[in-house]
Amino acid sequence: MRAVRRTISMPASLAVRLTREAKRRHKSFSAVVTDLIEGKAGPLPYAGIIDDDPDLSRRVDEVLSRLTD
């Protein structure tokens, strides 16, 4: 698979959590993000990602389906 470099913006708190998860899994930050997007890894704990949507964890499939339409 050919890799393509992209720049994304995210809340600093999410970047910290992804960095911790990458270290825990002994993977790169990019590999963890890719795994999560492709559904290869279990989800990260929800708490603290988004302050204004407490139901996101219940609606994640609905929200993600909008990205693929």
Are the C-beta atoms of residues 22 and 31 closer than 8 Å to each other? yes
pLDDT band at 2 (very low <50, low <70, confident <90, very high): confident
Q: Look at residue 31 and tell me if it is in a domain.
A: yes
Residue 66: the pLDDT is 75
Range of the domain at 60: 12-68
* Model-wide pTM > 0.75: no
Q: Look at residue 46 and tell me if it is in a domain.
A: yes
pLDDT band at 46 (very low <50, low <70, confident <90, very high): low
Q: What value does the mean pLDDT of the chain take?
A: 78
Residue 27: the pLDDT is 94
Q: Look at residue 4 and tell me if it is in a domain.
A: no
| Residue 10 phi, psi (nearest 5) | -150, 160
Q: Which two tokens stand for residue 45?
A: 């704990």
Q: Which two tokens stand for residue 55?
A: 């139901």
Q: Look at residue 6 and tell me if it is in a domain.
A: no
Residue ranges in the chain assigned as alpha helix (H): 12-25, 29-38, 56-68
Higher pLDDT residue, 8 or 40? 8
Q: Look at residue 54 and tell me if it is in a domain.
A: yes
